[in-house]
Amino acid sequence: MKLLIGIFFSLILAFLTSKLKINVLYLQKEKNSFPISFKVKIGFYLFGFVKLFGIIFQEDGFHVLCFSFPYNKLKIDQDSIKILKDFSVVDFFKLLNMKLDKLNFQLKIGSEDMILTVFSVFAISTFLSILSAKNRKQINLKNFYYKITPVYHTNLLDFKISLKISIKISHIIRTLSFIKKRPKQTKDYHFHIRKVPIKI
C-alpha cells in the first residue's frame, strides 16, 4: 500500500514539474509574400527535459506523429471564446508565468513618409526595450536579440521571428482553474441620487 501511495505521489510530482515548450522555428513574411509562413513545435516534457510527445503547426494544418489535421476541420467551442474575451490578457500571461528562453526578431519596415518610418522604428524599439527591462525574470536576456531596419521612401513590411517559450504544467492548471472559477462580468448601472437640502 505504501508503495502504491509513493508511486501515486511521484507521478503527481512528475506531472506538476513537467513543462510545455513552444518552439517557433520561424514566423515570417517576406516583402512580396502573403500569407505569413510559420512552423511551430509544441512538446510536453516530463520533469522539464524528457520529451513525451509533440505537435507541429504549419500553414496547411497541424501534425501529430504520422497524422495530419487541416485547420478547417477543427471545431471551436463558442463558450470558450466568450470566456477568453472576458478574461484580461495581462492577467492571463501573469498566471501562466511564461519563460522566454530565446528570441530572434528581425524586422524591415518602411513607408513613403520618412517621418512615419522613423517614428515606427523608434516606437517598436522602445517597446521591446521596455518589455525586456520590466520582465528580466521571465526573459533570458543572453538570447534576446532584435534588429529593426528602416527602409525609406517605399512601403515595406518584412519580418522573421524565431523564439522558444516554456510554461510549467502547474501554472497552466492554475490558470485554467482561475478562468473557470472567475465569475462572468456583467454590466451593472448604478444611479446615485444626491440629496441637497433646500433652505426656504
Q: Is residue 115 part of a domain?
A: yes
Q: Is residue 55 part of a domain?
A: yes
State which residues form the domain around 6: 2-178
Q: Is residue 184 part of a domain?
A: no
pLDDT digits 0-9 by tens, 127-153: 999 988 888 888 998 999 999 999 998
Residue environment code for 149-188, b if the CB has 16+ CB neighbours within 10 A, otherwise e: ebbeeeebebbbbbbbbbbbbebbeebeeebeeeeeeeee
Alpha carbon distance, N-terminus to C-terminus of the chain: 87
Confidence of residue 116 (pLDDT cuts 50, 70, 90): very high
Q: Is residue 169 part of a domain?
A: yes
Please give the tally of structural domains in the chain.
1
pTM, full prediction = 0.75
pLDDT digits 0-9 by tens, 153-191: 888 889 999 999 999 988 888 888 877 776 555 444 444
Q: How many helices (H) and strands (E) does the chain have?
A: 5, 8
Judge contact between 46 and 68, C-beta under 8 A: no
- Give the whole-angstrom CA distance, residue 159 versus residue 31: 8
pLDDT digits 0-9 by tens, 18-60: 899 999 999 998 876 677 899 999 999 988 888 888 999 998 8
